[in-house]
């Protein structure tokens, strides 16, 4: 299939989202809630701050590493904010040993994707969603001044993924929805549930880089995890959007951005 320029950018499938995210000009953040068509994020020349939350080292890489590589290759600033350091993932090792190993793996993966790792300081398998954690996340995200935040879809079998999704959602609400919020999927059918994408990103060009970042997580059996779950998923999302490999997202829109349909403003 012949690829168009638009295909290489965000691929819009829903009528609701066809208002101009892929092609329109960037608007100031203050205009995000104006009810006008969404501001564009591709091809505008503006350097964007992209923040991607993941419960564990590897979640951002496996869930949306191809998209993050496209952002960094386009010159945008990408930060991965890991909620935990994956401390609990090997019962044969202490939390401190495992945290050190997985922090190192995350740093290697981030170097491949040209992302900056940050850690939120919660504990793997025991993440907490409460008033204090919400306030901490709001503060940490405010310091990063994001244009777009990606986070895990909270309808997920893993409690840490649930917490990660809700921390971002709550911070976004408290920040008066002044940046874009996207949810990504991991292990759909096993972990992520009820995920109906609104947006697809063609990752064919960054697929190998994403794989290298995934495979940097050596403690996580990455080859089998990729072959069993993520390879079929990225090919399936590719089929849905007419490209070889894709990642899929739910763009969670502020109320003022929802009442838009193609051809009407």
Instruction: Name which of 242, 238, 245, 239 is nearest 203 in CA terms.
Output: 245
Number of helices followed by number of strands (H, E) in the chain: 9, 8
- Report the alpha-carbon distance of residue 179 to residue 233 in Å, rounded: 28
Instruction: Name which of 120, 184, 119, 122 is nearest 148 in CA terms.
Output: 184
Q: Are strands 49-54 and 148-152 parallel, antiparallel or unpaired?
A: parallel
Q: Are strands 180-184 and 199-202 parallel, antiparallel or unpaired?
A: unpaired
Number of residues that bind Zn ion (CB under 5 A): 3
Residues 184 and 64: beta-carbon distance below 8 Å: yes
Identify residues 45-84 at the interface with Zn ion (CB under 5 A).
Answer: 55-56, 59
Between residues 67 and 84, which has the closer beta carbon with respect to Zn ion?
84
Pattern 189-228, Zn ion, x by CB under 5 A: ----------------------------------------
Question: To the nearest whole angstrom, how small is the minimum distance from the Cβ of residue 222 to Zn ion?
Answer: 13
Query: Interface with Zn ion includes 163 (CB under 5 A)?
Result: no
Instruction: Name which of 84, 115, 67, 104 is nearest 218 in CA terms.
Output: 104
Could you tell me the two tokens for 200? 């697809």
Between residues 25 and 157, which has the closer beta carbon with respect to Zn ion?
157
Pattern 2-41, Zn ion, x by CB under 5 A: ----------------------------------------
**Torsion angle (degrees, nearest 10) of CA 243, 246, 248, 253:** -70
Residues 164 and 54: beta-carbon distance below 8 Å: yes
Question: To the nearest whole angstrom, how small is the minimum distance from the Cβ of residue 64 to Zn ion?
Answer: 13
Strands (E), 146-260: 148-152, 180-184, 199-202, 246-252
Question: To the nearest whole angstrom, how small is the minimum distance from the Cβ of residue 60 to Zn ion?
Answer: 10
Question: To the nearest whole angstrom, how small is the minimum distance from the Cβ of residue 57 to Zn ion?
Answer: 9
Between residues 59 and 257, which has the closer beta carbon with respect to Zn ion?
59
Nearest residue by C-beta to Zn ion? Answer: 56
Between residues 20 and 57, which has the closer beta carbon with respect to Zn ion?
57
Between residues 53 and 149, which has the closer beta carbon with respect to Zn ion?
53
Could you tell me the two tokens for 71? 């952002």
Between residues 84 and 245, which has the closer beta carbon with respect to Zn ion?
84
Between residues 16 and 88, which has the closer beta carbon with respect to Zn ion?
88
Residues within the interface to Zn ion (CB under 5 A): 55-56, 59
């Amino acid at each position: 299939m012949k690829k168009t320029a638009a295909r290489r950018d965000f691929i819009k499938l829903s009528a609701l989202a066809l208002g101009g995210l892929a092609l329109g000009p960037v608007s100031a953040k203050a205009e995000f809630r104006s009810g006008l068509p969404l501001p564009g994020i591709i091809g505008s020349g503006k350097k964007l701050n992209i923040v991607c939350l993941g419960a564990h080292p590897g979640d951002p890489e496996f869930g949306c590493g191809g998209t993050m590589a496209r952002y960094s290759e386009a010159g945008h600033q990408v930060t991965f904010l890991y909620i935990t350091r994956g401390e609990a993932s090997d019962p044969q090792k202490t939390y401190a040993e495992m945290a050190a190993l997985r922090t190192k793996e995350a740093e290697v993966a981030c170097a491949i994707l040209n992302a900056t790792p940050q850690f939120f300081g919660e504990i793997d398998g025991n993440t907490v969603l409460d008033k204090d954690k919400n306030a901490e996340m709001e503060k940490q995200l405010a310091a990063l001044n994001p244009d777009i935040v990606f986070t895990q879809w909270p309808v997920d079998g893993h409690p840490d993924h649930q917490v990660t999704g809700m921390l971002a959602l709550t911070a976004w609400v408290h920040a008066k929805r002044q940046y874009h919020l996207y949810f990504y999927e991991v292990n759909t059918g096993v972990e992520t549930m009820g995920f109906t994408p609104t947006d697809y990103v063609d990752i064919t060009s960054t697929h190998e880089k994403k794989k290298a970042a995934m495979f940097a997580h050596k403690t996580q059996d990455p080859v089998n995890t990729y072959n069993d779950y993520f390879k079929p998923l990225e090919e399936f999302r590719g089929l849905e959007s007419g490209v070889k490999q894709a990642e899929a997202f739910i763009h969670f829109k502020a109320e003022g951005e929802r009442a838009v349909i193609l051809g009407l403003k």
